Structure formats: structure tokens, C-alpha cells
Amino acid sequence: MRIKRSPRNADRVDGIVVAVGSQWALIARTGDGGFFEGSVAIRVKDVVKVRKDSSFQERFARTQAEWPPTAPPGLDLDTTAGLLRGMSAISPLLGIEQERRFRSQMAWIGVVAQVTERWLWLHEVRPDATWHKRPRGYKLRRITKVFMSDRYLTALAAIAGTGPAR
């Protein structure tokens, strides 16, 4: 599927929809050439348009060993806090986006330190693959996209280690 989201500057998500909850949809993302690129969760209310992908990428994805992709068991797609807890249990590093915060796409990557009713505390990785000293807080209602296990996060985890030194 090709999923267009709001706001206008939000990136399009290409992949296979594997689960939908009341607040979030989980997509097995396909990257260049049709290879699977981890999972991404997007807010259901941000979906503007969904259309079938009839490209080479989609057809090639069906030939991969991972086909058909499935959702991890027990992943909560009905609450943001539950989604973050579930995804952080699966992947050591998560990426989050808050597209509406700065009128452009902004992403932060790190290890979940704590999830409360309204806040995510993320121990972030800096662009030079070192760790911030303290976790930073993000309002759950502003998070519009959560991603895990893509090539970039896997490479970053290898460089920075799987978590901050305590």
C-alpha cells in the first residue's frame, strides 16, 4: 500500500498494513527494491489516502522469506503508551516523529527510559552516535509516527551500542 498522511509535509509510507487499532496502524515498511525495512506505526487519524501499490517493489516483497509480514503478538495499537511500551520491548532503539511540532518532519531516536500516561522519556542518540546524558520528554499526543528495526536504526545500534552507559 501507499499511504499518504497529513499534514502536507508528512512523508508517504509504503508497505504492507499488518494491523490496525483504534489509534495506530502498523505497517511492515518496504524500502528500495521491495526489501522489508522494519515496522512503522502511524496515527490512523492522519491517514489521508490509501492506494494499492502495483510497483515492482510490492511484487518483489511477496517473494521475500518474510512474506507475509505479521504484527508482533500483543502489540497495543489502541493507546500511544501501550504502543511505545510494546515496540520498545521488541527493538532496543525506536524512532519517533512529531511532524506538527516544527512544521517539518522531525525525528528523534533513542531508548525508551519511561512511558507515563502523557509523556515519553527517551534517552536519545546524538547524530555523532553518542548518548545524551539525560532522557528528554515528549508529549504522547504529539507523536505522529514510531518506527523500529529499519536499516538505519540497526546500523546506529551497532555503532552506539544498544543503550546509554549508566
Q: Apex CA 41: angle with CA 38 and CA 22, to 5°? A: 145
The answer to whether residue 165 scores a pLDDT higher than 60 is no
Mean pLDDT throughout 10-36? 91
Q: What pLDDT, on the 0 to 100 scale, is given for residue 101?
A: 58
Q: What's this model's pTM, rounded to 2 decimal places?
A: 0.85
Strand partners, 15: 29
Span 67-82, pLDDT tens digits: 999 999 999 999 999 9
Q: What pLDDT, on the 0 to 100 scale, is given for residue 158?
A: 64
**Strands 119-124, 107-115: parallel, antiparallel or unpaired by DSSP?**
antiparallel
State how far the Cα of 15 lies from the Cα of 61, in Å rounded to an integer. 9
Q: What pLDDT, on the 0 to 100 scale, is given for residue 57?
A: 82
Average pLDDT value for the chain: 86
The answer to whether residue 37 scores a pLDDT higher than 70 is yes
Q: Which residue has the cell 555503532?
A: 159
More confident residue, 133 or 26: 26
Question: Among 56-65, 118-127, 131-140, 150-159, where is mean pLDDT lowest?
Answer: 150-159
Question: Among 15-24, 39-48, 87-96, 101-110, where is mean pLDDT lowest?
Answer: 101-110
The answer to whether residue 164 scores a pLDDT higher than 90 is no
